Amino acid sequence: MNDPILRFLIVDAVALLLLGAGTSLLPQAICGLLTATLCGLSALLCLPPLFSHAPAAPLSVPVGPPGLSLHFALDPLSLFFLLNLFVAGTAVAAFQSTVVQPARIHPTAWCVAGTALSLLAADGVAMVIGLAVTCASAGYRGRRLPMLAPALLLGAVCLLTPSGYAPRFDAIRAAPIDSDHATAAMVLTVAAVGALVWPDNSERCWTRDALTAGVLIPFSSYLLLRLIADLSAAAAQPWWGALLLLAGGAGSVVAAWRAAALPDIDTAIAALLARQAGLAVIGVGLAMTARTADLPAAAAFALDATCLTALGTSLAGTLLSLSAHTIGTSAGTYRLSRLGGLVHAMPGTSAALSAGLLTASALPPGLGFAALWLSFQSILSAPHTGGVLSQLPLALIAAAIALSAGLSTAASLRVVGIAVLGRPRTPRGAGAGESPSTIRAILLLLAATALLAGVLPGPLLRLLADPSIDALTSLPPAQGFGLLSLAGASPGYLIVPLLALLTLAVGAAWRVPRQLRKPAKPAGPWTDGMQPPIGLPFGDPAAQSSGAGFLPALPEIALPRPPPLPSLPRTRISATFPGLWLLLAGFAALLLALAVVG
């Protein structure tokens, strides 16, 4: 069954590429609807092979120089991330069809097509070509950092490819890999992931933000899993795990701190989502630590956490980016200190934003908490041997995960408390209107899916991610559906009974006092017991918290100033569409590298 589905998905990716290129020929709305339809259809087609656990089916496409062809395959890992990709792509494209925005190419179609090609790729060339297309579309407005990613990934693939072979994944898995080459490839992959997902606030662009959140960050998890946990696994060194843990921990804490400090709603959300990429690196690091100690159960916990993080980012990331754009457009500003009271003006969008923040932060019963619980479960099951030095990264990463969770809670509280609740801080904000019903429906559907995923993480993992995790960890397939617990061993994180308990307790706390209370008397807003200022009968809205003090003050450390570096000549790419040049240059460099290695 995989063959026709694989063929359809490749054709679909090509169709999306053509659709993206033909934006000028078609109206924006039709282009968006076609993209959404193609993405939705592809998402549905990913389900049968995922549920049937069908084996991988390779396919060679004779494209390229003589003697070389592009190889594609569908395996459980690709399918899981393809499903995430197409769900996010459907939402972004459907959203895009409702707004008028001039664009030279259709970034969503190109981004989804490139990422789909990368996910379907069974060789390094196809993967890099897909990534180049993705980066060209996602970074098409003022963002240059992702342009480095294809080059870095190309280097990683070249290092992993055995001498005298084509860079096919099956050849890489079968051949022995030099450990130095594998280490360099791992570092390049992490660098590529960093370049791909690190938020760049040079220019505001909601499409880029939504695609980064919904497509690029989950895709970066795939790159880590494919290149480090799958292809390089045979040459993995024991210290790889520590390196990945430290990189992921630092990234997640810094990103979460920025999320709680940045003044605009969209940049704060982008930073909150960049934290998810750090968590993905931590997950892969924990998995590598466990695998090198031959503890597949601990590795499975870590990979489960990585997959849940990717799923949560795909759903909540798209939702949050689209909600932030809707709010910014309607209220006329993205600055948190000028928003407020949107729960009255935009109740549907506010509810969707809150649901997304619950999923992205680490509070129960959200998906983020399930991932956090699995990460700690992995630390609990990790190898505890080797003395202080080898255990220090594990202790530090436990602290980093906890700190990152605390910071993400503060960031989410700040966004909801300042932007959504309270009173409007400006007349323009007070005049914000609810988004159109189509946009609201997209947001609420995404919110409902994210909340449902938080309630049923066990069955989702079992159905969607377990085949790939079993393949990566060589564990036998688990039995049952894991309806109550994330972990196979009881007791675990039993979300359904816990939710029942919470519903019962909150319901009782809500209902019982209501039976006893007197009817409420209407009153004006509370102004701290004082008369409201003249001209502001509802109090001074600027007296509310502006969102600036949600973080503790850091101690001031006087660091020596580095000497000023000589200014280097900066070259600017004059072309408006550097991605195509990059694509060509990358492909040429790959051919050159292949020629050099034989």
Partner 1 sequence: MTFVLSLLAEILHIGLMIAVAPAAAGVTCWLDARLAGQSGPPALLPFRDLARLRRKTPMAIESVSLVSRLAPAVGLGVTLSAAALVPTFSLGMALSPLADVLVIVSLLTVARVAHALAALDSGAALPGLTQQRASALAVAAEPALMLTMVALGLMGGSFNLDLIIGQQREGILLPAAASAIVLTAVLALAFADLSAPCRDSDQAFGAIDLALVRATGWLRRLVWFNLIGALFLPVGMANAESGPFAWLVGLAAWTIKLGAFLLVVAGIRVVAGGSPRNILPDLAGVAALLALLATIMILASAGTA
Identify the three-state secondary structure at position 72.
strand
**Which residue's CB is nearer to partner 1, number 479 or number 490?**
490
Q: Using CB under 8 A, which of the segments 66-74, 167-175, 273-281, 515-523 binds partner 1? A: 515-523
**Contact string (CB under 8 A) for partner 1, positions 338-377, x = contact:** --xx-xx-----------------xxx----x--xx--xx
Contact 318, 213 (CB under 8 A): yes
User: Contacting partner 1 (CB under 8 A), which of 63, 174, 509, 536?
Assistant: 509
Which pairs count as long-range contacts for 23-28, CB under 8 Å and 24+ apart, including other chains? 23/103, 23/104, 23/105, 23/106, 23/109, 24/104, 28/96, 28/97, 28/100, 28/101, 28/103
Reference 333, options 267, 407, 279; nearest CA is 267
Prior bond of 365 cis (ω within 30°):
yes
Size of the site for partner 1 (CB under 8 A): 84
**Which residue's CB is nearer to partner 1, number 523 or number 559?**
523
Binding to partner 1 (CB under 8 A) within 540-579 occurs at 541, 543-545, 549-553
**Which residue's CB is nearer to partner 1, number 511 or number 570?**
511
User: Contacting partner 1 (CB under 8 A), which of 479, 518, 531, 556?
Assistant: 518
Evaluated on CA atoms 222, 223, 224, 226, the torsion sign reads positive
**Which residue's CB is nearer to partner 1, number 29 or number 536?**
536
Q: Using CB under 8 A, which of the segments 31-39, 116-124, 269-277, 415-423 binds partner 1? A: 415-423
**Which residue's CB is nearer to partner 1, number 211 or number 261?**
261
Q: Using CB under 8 A, which of the segments 45-53, 128-136, 222-230, 498-506 binds partner 1? A: 498-506
**Residue 284 Cβ, how far from partner 1 at the closest point, in Å?**
20
Distance CA 583, CA 589 (A): 10
Q: Using CB under 8 A, which of the segments 65-73, 109-117, 326-334, 394-402 binds partner 1? A: 394-402
Reference 452, options 460, 442, 443; nearest CA is 460
Prior bond of 393 cis (ω within 30°):
no
Binding to partner 1 (CB under 8 A) within 135-164 occurs at none
**Which residue's CB is nearer to partner 1, number 221 or number 377?**
377
**Residues with Cβ within 8 Å of residue 56, at least 6 apart in sequence:** 2, 73, 74, 75
**Which residue's CB is nearer to partner 1, number 237 or number 391?**
391
**Residue 379 Cβ, how far from partner 1 at the closest point, in Å?**
7
User: Contacting partner 1 (CB under 8 A), which of 47, 402, 463, 475?
Assistant: 402
**Residue 526 Cβ, how far from partner 1 at the closest point, in Å?**
5
Distance CA 200, CA 180 (A): 32
Residue 168: what are its φ and ψ, rounded to 5°?
-85, 145
**Contact string (CB under 8 A) for partner 1, positions 259-298, x = contact:** -x--------------------------------------
Residue 211 sits at the vertex; the CA angle it makes with 82 and 451, to the nearest 5 degrees, is 70
Side-chain half-sphere exposure of 414, counting CA atoms within 13 A: 29
Residue 199 sits at the vertex; the CA angle it makes with 194 and 204, to the nearest 5 degrees, is 150
Binding to partner 1 (CB under 8 A) within 30-89 occurs at none
**Contact string (CB under 8 A) for partner 1, positions 456-495, x = contact:** ----------------------------------xxxxx-
**Residue 396 Cβ, how far from partner 1 at the closest point, in Å?**
8
Binding to partner 1 (CB under 8 A) within 522-541 occurs at 522-529, 538-539, 541
Q: Using CB under 8 A, which of the segments 4-12, 138-146, 520-528, 558-566 binds partner 1? A: 520-528
**Residue 531 Cβ, how far from partner 1 at the closest point, in Å?**
14
Contact 312, 375 (CB under 8 A): no
Token pair for 14: 């090509």
Identify the three-state secondary structure at position 152.
helix
516 binds partner 1 (CB under 8 A): yes
> How far is residue 136 from each of residues 111, 149, 150, 466, measured CA to CA in Å?
8, 10, 10, 32
Distance CA 403, CA 548 (A): 19
**Residue 469 Cβ, how far from partner 1 at the closest point, in Å?**
21
250 binds partner 1 (CB under 8 A): no
Binding to partner 1 (CB under 8 A) within 119-138 occurs at none
**Residue 203 Cβ, how far from partner 1 at the closest point, in Å?**
30
Distance CA 220, CA 212 (A): 10
